[in-house]
Amino acid sequence: MVMWQQIQLFCKRLAQKTNGTRPLGEKEEEMEKYEFKIKTTANDLFEFMMVHNYKCLRGVLSVAFSLAALIGMIVFWGQTSSLQKICLGIFALMFTVITPVEYKVRAKRQEKKTFETEYTYIFDESGIVVKANELSNELSWDEVYKVISTKNLVVIYFSPVRAFILPKKTIGNNFAEFKKLMEKKTNCYRFKMEE
């Protein structure tokens, strides 16, 4: 009799699995899903451009070049002609003032041109979906190249030059859980996501 009951229980569980229901005693597992509606602003783009271009070897060398030009202008002030002083002054301002101003202008222009639309980003166990108007694009977790965070942004790179910009204020109170999902699902070479 006991054997017959075990066979019935086995058949019942098998039937439940094939019908898409969970077997007796098992809890239904919810799929983690985070949905963010984002309209990228000029300030978000500017912060991204500054971090992307200045937190790398090229950016450090650019600032070092500008600082060297400033120091050279100060040290050799009495020994240089007016034209040399002007050139050193321009070099000193090039990467410390002129380039950031250019990034600010470019961010405002790009906001009006590209980011007028609100984008919806959906992150779940299966991957990432991006929606804008009627268009939709799905990406797998394997495509994530690196994840970094700044003071106000989380930046998810898919190549050295292609990235999603997520403002931290949009992520809100879900930051810790969202970070866990990102850590679990991505296998990127660099992952630095801080609140």
Instruction: Count CB atoms within 10 A of the CB of residue 37.
Output: 10
Terminal CA-CA length for the chain: 60
Q: What average pLDDT does range 95-121 have in this prediction?
A: 89
Mean pLDDT score, 68-84 = 92
Q: Tell me the pLDDT band of 30, cut-offs 50, 70 and 90.
A: low
The pLDDT value given to residue 71: 94
- What's the pLDDT at 20? 42
Give me the pLDDT at residue 49, please: 92
Q: Which residues pair with 138 in a beta bridge?
A: 129
pLDDT attached to residue 132: 86
Q: Check pLDDT > 60 for residue 75.
A: yes
- Render pLDDT for 111-140 as a digit per residue (tens, 0 to 9): 888 777 888 999 998 999 999 888 888 999
Type and span of the H or E element at 157: strand 153-157
pLDDT, tens digit, 9 for 90 and up, residues 135-193: 888 999 999 999 999 999 999 999 888 889 999 999 988 899 999 998 988 888 888 88
Query: Domain ranges in the chain?
Result: 48-113, 121-192
Angle at 164 between CA 163 and CA 167, to 5 degrees: 135
Q: What phi and psi, each to the nearest 5 degrees, are found at residue 64? A: -60, -40
* Residues 6 or more apart in contact with residue 155 via CB below 8 angstroms: 48, 51, 52, 147, 148, 149, 163, 164, 165, 166
- State the chain's mean pLDDT as an integer: 83
Predicted pLDDT at 14: 39
